[in-house]
Amino acid sequence: KWKVSSLVLGNVSYTDAQLCSIFQTPVAGNGLIALAHQLIAAKLNIANGSNSAAISWAITAADALIGSLAIPPTGTGTLDPSLTSTLTQHLAIYNEGLIGPGHCE
């Protein structure tokens, strides 16, 4: 069970069930989905007590880039991977513990 019942991605709020469905949606060339996967993970890590200092700028930038796009399968939003890859990569290395507080024991 997650410590949150909803998260805001961009300007759109998603329930925990919707977040799970986004996680289960293959990226299939949609940079928005790839970014959402890493953004959800980062926000969940922070909700679980992880220090966000190393990544807060990327979270802010990702939310700004997503804006009002509705992430599949909840909506039909799409972004070219060339627009999202840098942010997706930064969020991924945070989620993998390579920057920030690292992995929990």
- Rounded to two decimals, the pTM is 0.93
**pLDDT range class, residue 3, cuts 50, 70, 90:** confident
Higher pLDDT, 66 or 3: 66
Mean pLDDT in residue range 81-97: 95
H or E element: which one contains 15? strand 12-15
Measuring CA to CA, how many Å separate 61 from each of 3, 18, 51, 84, 101? 23, 22, 18, 10, 20
The reported pLDDT for the residue numbered 103 is: 58
Mean pLDDT in residue range 78-101: 92
**Residue 37 DSSP SS3:** helix
Residue-wise pLDDT tens digits, 42-56: 999 999 889 999 999
Contact 33, 19 (CB under 8 A): no
Contact 60, 8 (CB under 8 A): no
Residue-wise pLDDT tens digits, 16-32: 999 999 999 999 999 99
Mean pLDDT in residue range 84-95: 96
CA atoms within 13 Å, Cβ hemisphere of 36: 36
